Amino acid sequence: MKPIFLAFSVTLSFISAQAQLSKNNWLVGGAGSFYSYNENYNSPSTNFTAKYTNIGIYGSIGYFIADKLTLGLRPTFSSVKGEVINGGSTNSYQLAGGPFVRYYFLEPERPFNLLADMSYQLGINKYLGALHEKGKYNTFSLMAGPEIFFNTTVGIEILFGYTKKITSIEGTPGEFNSNKKGLQIAIGFQFHLEKD
């Protein structure tokens, strides 16, 4: 009997939960992301194609400038592992930050909401190969999905989307051109904090 009562209580809490999506509230949270992409590398000395896996952790701090609309900043740390199609591998670490904008589509009284999230980041990367190259990159990301609210403060989000990254490496001979794009999934928690 206790498991049935517990399941009913949890279900009821989901039905009555809603978040603070009102103007002047804060959004603080973080997520882990998985991003898989292909890279076409072109320089005067070599050309190759590689497949990469990027696992990242990012935080978000935003402010609702209007009902259901948030602007904020997002720092990111990620680890990238790649396999070159013709053989070889590469590993790197990346650190970035930049602005994001997020919009919730449904009314705040619901136990879940659908959202779109767009961000742009500037960052640095450090390769762990024999030459220990370093460089810069910028990333554009557009994601969407549901956020399910446990109560008026906490929600879990599951986002899917598209990411494009342009990278440069310092000290390479000739012009370096790296253009990466692919699909991304992110799962995380958000805290909706009401302004006093």
Per-residue pLDDT tens digits for 95-106? 999 999 999 999
Rounded to the nearest 5°, which phi and psi values hold at 5? -65, -40
What is the rounded CA–CA span in Å between residue 80 and residue 90? 8
Is residue 190 classed exposed, middle or buried when 0-12, 13-18 and 19+ CB atoms within 10 A define those classes?
A: buried
Take residue 66 and report the two structure tokens written for it.
């209007």
**pTM of the complete model:** 0.78
Task: Give pLDDT, residue 32.
Answer: 93
Is residue 147 classed exposed, middle or buried when 0-12, 13-18 and 19+ CB atoms within 10 A define those classes?
A: buried
Tens digits of per-residue pLDDT, 72-89?
A: 999 999 998 888 777 777
We report the CATH number of the domain holding residue 84 as 2.40.160.20
Range of the domain at 91: 2-193
Tens digits of per-residue pLDDT, 147-188?
A: 999 998 999 999 999 988 887 777 655 556 577 788 889 999
Q: How many domains does the chain have?
A: 1
Cα-based distances in Å from 85 to 49, 81, 114: 6, 13, 38
The pLDDT mean for the chain works out to 83
Q: How far is CA 87 from the centre of its chain?
A: 29
Task: Give pLDDT, residue 182.
Answer: 83
What integer is the mean pLDDT of 11-24? 65
